[in-house]
Structure 1
Amino acid sequence: MQLSKKTFQGYREYPEKVLQFGEGNFLRCFVDWMFHELNQKGNFNGSIVVVQPIDKGMVNMLNEQDGLYTLNLRGYKNGKPESTYETIDVISRGINPYEDFAAYLGTAENPEMRYVISNTTEAGIAYDENDTQTATPPNSYPAKLTVWLNHRYKTFNGDQSKGVHIIPCELIDKNADNLKQIVLKYAEQWNLESGFVEWLNSACSFSNTLVDRIVPGYPRERIAEITSELGYEDKQIVEGEHFHLWVIEGPEELQKELPFPSIGLDVLYVKDVTPYKSRKVKILNGAHTALVPVAYLYGIDTVRESVEHPVVGKFIKEAIFNEIIPTLDLPKEELEKFANEVIERFSNPYIKHLLMSIALNSFPKFETRVLPSILEYKKRLGSIPEKLAFSLAATIAFYKGKRGEEEIALNDDAAVLILLKSAWAKYDGSDESVEDVVREVLAFEKNWKLDLNTVEGLTAAVTKHLVNIEKLGMQKAIELV
């Protein structure tokens, strides 16, 4: 038996109010779930029309199940591991604009349509100079959106009340600002009437966002067990963690229209998303990146094992609370709460997160996620944060390419791999040659955007730790930090 509105007794139909570009796991586990909850616990009374943003996608599979799917949330909740199932019925239908462009444009004629959501990957919010207004559809997401917005503007003769709130979820900085800039560029390129631009600026809003939830996606390895447990087949089931955070930099009226916080969801309406992005990048992503080389060279393979390890776990927690948090500007209590949630998420017993899966492109990741904390710590406190410096030393050691007798499958930019191979080839076992390795790596401005040897005390700190790692091994070196 397959999940459908015939087999799901709780099925309800709602007016279509949300247009969503993207049918992937993340939006269905995150935004769609939130709108579903707002239907169940609030008074939203609305459904989502999903638009397939590229030629090949999954809206047909979604339509086969009448937009229904099961959400399996797994992880720690209130301090205890918990796995839950919920049938999500907020999607009314899916549209493939490459097959039915008229149906796509038709949604712009719906007077109740009020919100546009998207997650078209980081590459989705991009300008394509070859896109035309007459294409059915245009290639890029911003061009598709421009055509849709212009059609709505014309349908309702510029009625201010028919504007929409546009809330992109793509993981790029200032996602909404970038999207709006491209839409306005198409409006100019296509010579759309000035009234459309005025309507866009006055009747519509573009809200920058930050999204955060780990979504492993379709639980392929457990699907037979899940199907037996549920009693029906679901080809669209999606797995995610309980933790969720949506930070929205939007107008006040948006919070009134979408009162997610009032039903207990972790949605923050803020004036500036920047400090929250910095918090996430430095604490969550930064901790991941700082942890990987230390834990892996210690002999550990997964994130959960790492944070639960008495030595490595203590190391990363102290790095977060003592060295990363002091570089951030949000209230300390709020930062520590978020940090504790991150540690709990890292300990999720349902997710086997391999350290090597995070190790990809460790050097550029270190530059964006960890180095800002080192530099800001130095600026604010006048010294080098020892644990983050140790992590940098461990990263250099990791790129030697060996864990004991085991070869490490290094995966990074070719220039990084060539640099590290060349630097380590000159190593002769002496402390002086360790310093030479460190100096050569820290001088790699292509990655760091500056010569890190000019940061007072950093070269000496990294050299000291790398000498200990080389002479004593990771398990003894970490105890000296």
Structure 2
Amino acid sequence: MDQTTLPRLGRDRDCTLPVRAVQFGEGNFLRAFIDWMIQQMNKQGKFNGMVRIVQPLPTGMGEALNEQGGRYTLILRGLENGQPVEKREIIDCVKDCLNPYTRWDDVVDCFRGRDLRFVFSNTTEAGIEYKAEAYTPGQCQRTFPAKLTSLLYERYQTFGGVHDRALVIIPCELIDKNGTTLRDCMLRYAKDWGLPPGFATWLSEANVFVNTLVDRIVAGYPREDAAKLEAELGYRDALLDCGELFHFLVLEGPQALARELPLAKCGLQVVITDDQTPYRTRKVRFLNGAHTSSVLAASLSGLTLVDEMMNDADFGPFVHGVIFDEVFHTVDLPDDEKRFFAQSVMERFQNPYARHRLLSIALNSVSKWKVRVLPSLLDYRKLRGALPSRLIFSLAALLRFYEVESVGAGGEGVGRVDDRDYPIADSPEILAFFAGETAKLRAGGDDAHYVRAVLGRQDFWGGDLNRVSGLAAAVTAALAAIHRDGCRAALRACKP
């Protein structure tokens, strides 16, 4: 067998299917998320369309994707009912990948296609931004929003601005209100370039810009076990992609989307709503918040990986308590929806395939704690009239973790616990502040002063946390226990 050719997936690939979607981004996430979803709809005869990918940058994986005829192997791994599960599938809904910097005319022709209906994107969080640039017909623009503005103008001219040739635009970049932000950038370009007023009206009123929330952990190419997997598969695949079994997509848009994009009817975890805010809050507080509230203490206690933390006799119950006993009450969704997601988070954290390092999650923990954990703490206090003990402990663990003993030549902080050093990665300003406060502690300062100094940094937290009744005293008590007994022993003594 030709070692660069993938076998067909139980049927001849139907390359006659029309191109119904264009996707900006050929990276691991979209290939394991959106393309996988389109594959599932095609298999059930509910979409019947191909995807053409546009490579956002001059260099990327487009050439490798074209060499494999748009096909690649996706491996999804995780736990189902507590048992390890692995699923392998060849994704063959991608027609090809276009480099707009060398094949702009082909991209324009694609946007002139009568069958085209959907545009997906994942150009990183920095991809949806406005940067002034000139418009030259026939030339590729630099930013993604400028490219898309130019391409939609080509479509507008081709079809005379009729509404039934407008598109549904579904960005997957991890920013809030991503669809709205993209539309606003494009309207600025249309105005800057002096495009006809009718185009701006068609752009904003005929086209549908969907705000999204995407959720699937995608590890990408499995470098450590690629050779083993290829031996088992019987072929080489330069674009092997690995992700977790769990997936969830929220589309903030009209319910009519369900007819054109029948994802839920295909058994996929997809919600169409007119307000994604509760779902975003659920994800940030349950998934991200549980990470941020636990990984620093676990790392201080000598643990390395998330699944190791979850299997630990002390930290597993701690994470469960954070999610179900404290964060659960602060999210405004039906209990069954919260419980489903909370249980999925626990199972995802226990995934032995993820190899998710605690110190990787610990990057920039001050800003993460502000966004992911602080709102839960404040809402819990408002709702219950008491402070949540586990989230209090997580803040104390953050203060202990951020005791900066020194700052390296590369600007990274260095902490020390149990005669071992560990890295502290954050902005230079934050590291400098903590280094100064750590020096005061080492010179005989007390925990209460340190806590008050940190909680008083309004630029860290968006307000003076010393004003939250009882918070400074509770954090000081927890930090004193960590200093006196060690992080694990202090966690064991943490009572709800």
Identify the residue that residue 351 of structure 2 maps to in structure 1. 348
Identify the residue that residue 281 of structure 1 maps to in structure 2. 284
* Residue in structure 2 matching 1:459, options 456, 465, 472: 472
Aligned equivalents of 1:300, 1:365: Cα separation in 2: 20
1:114-133 to 2 correspondences below 5 Å? 114-133=117-136
Q: 1:243-292, CA deviations, whole angstroms, 9 ceiling, x for partnerless residues?
A: 00010011122111111111110011111111111100011000000111
Q: 1:100-136, CA deviations, whole angstroms, 9 ceiling, x for partnerless residues?
A: 1100100111100000000000000011112424361
AA in 1 matched with 2:159: F
C-alpha displacement at 1:18, in angstroms? 0.1
Q: 1:59-95, CA deviations, whole angstroms, 9 ceiling, x for partnerless residues?
A: 1111000100000011113432111110000001111
Taking only aligned residues, the RMSD between alpha carbons, in angstroms, comes to 1.5
Matching of residue 86 in structure 1 with residue 86 in structure 2: no
Identify the residue that residue 226 of structure 2 maps to in structure 1. 223
Matching of residue 113 in structure 1 with residue 116 in structure 2: yes
1:123-202 to 2 correspondences below 5 Å? 123-134=126-137, 136-202=139-205
Q: 1:21-61, CA deviations, whole angstroms, 9 ceiling, x for partnerless residues?
A: 00000000000000010000132110000001111111111
Distance verdict in 2 for CA 1:350–1:283, change over 3 Å = same
| Structure 1 unmatched runs, 5+ | none
Matching of residue 313 in structure 1 with residue 316 in structure 2: yes
CA contact (8 A) 1:383 1:457 kept: no
Distance verdict in 2 for CA 1:40–1:9, change over 3 Å = closer
Secondary structure of the structure 2 residue equivalent to 1:305: helix
Identify the residue that residue 416 of structure 1 maps to in structure 2. 430
CA contact (8 A) 2:5 2:236 kept: no
Q: 1:429-470, CA deviations, whole angstroms, 9 ceiling, x for partnerless residues?
A: 97x711011111111111111111111111011000000000
Aligned equivalents of 2:77, 2:269: Cα separation in 1: 17
AA in 2 matched with 1:245: F
Secondary structure of the structure 1 residue equivalent to 2:120: strand
Aligned equivalents of 1:467, 1:202: Cα separation in 2: 58
| Structure 2 unmatched runs, 5+ | 404-414
Distance verdict in 2 for CA 1:428–1:195, change over 3 Å = closer
AA in 2 matched with 1:408: Y
CA contact (8 A) 1:2 1:65 kept: no
Aligned equivalents of 2:138, 2:116: Cα separation in 1: 23
Q: 1:173-229, CA deviations, whole angstroms, 9 ceiling, x for partnerless residues?
A: 100000000111111111111221222233210000000000000011111111111
* Residue in structure 1 matching 2:454, options 438, 441, 444: 441
C-alpha displacement at 1:402, in angstroms? 1.4
> Could you list the runs of 4 or more consecutive aligned residues of structure 1 that deviate by over 3 angstroms after TM superposition?
2-9
Identify the residue that residue 409 of structure 2 maps to in structure 1. none
C-alpha displacement at 1:147, in angstroms? 0.6
Aligned equivalents of 2:222, 2:7: Cα separation in 1: 24
Distance verdict in 2 for CA 1:6–1:324, change over 3 Å = closer
C-alpha displacement at 1:421, in angstroms? 1.4
AA in 1 matched with 2:180: D
Q: Could you tell me the percent identity over the aligned residues?
A: 44
Matching of residue 250 in structure 1 with residue 247 in structure 2: no
CA contact (8 A) 1:3 1:69 kept: no
Secondary structure of the structure 2 residue equivalent to 1:98: coil
Secondary structure of the structure 2 residue equivalent to 1:461: helix
Aligned residues: 480
Distance verdict in 2 for CA 1:115–1:438, change over 3 Å = same
Secondary structure of the structure 2 residue equivalent to 1:216: strand
Identify the residue that residue 263 of structure 2 maps to in structure 1. 260
- The more displaced of 375-384 and 184-193 is 375-384
TM-score (norm 2): 0.94
Distance verdict in 2 for CA 1:384–1:429, change over 3 Å = farther
Aligned equivalents of 1:5, 1:309: Cα separation in 2: 41
Aligned equivalents of 2:387, 2:478: Cα separation in 1: 12
Secondary structure of the structure 2 residue equivalent to 1:252: coil
Aligned equivalents of 1:260, 1:133: Cα separation in 2: 38
Secondary structure of the structure 2 residue equivalent to 1:421: helix
Identify the residue that residue 76 of structure 1 maps to in structure 2. 79
Secondary structure of the structure 2 residue equivalent to 1:408: strand
1:44-59 to 2 correspondences below 5 Å? 44-59=47-62
Aligned equivalents of 2:452, 2:7: Cα separation in 1: 67
1:92-107 to 2 correspondences below 5 Å? 92-107=95-110
CA contact (8 A) 1:4 1:68 kept: no
CA contact (8 A) 1:3 1:68 kept: no
Matching of residue 28 in structure 1 with residue 65 in structure 2: no
CA contact (8 A) 1:131 1:143 kept: no
AA in 1 matched with 2:60: G
AA in 2 matched with 1:95: L
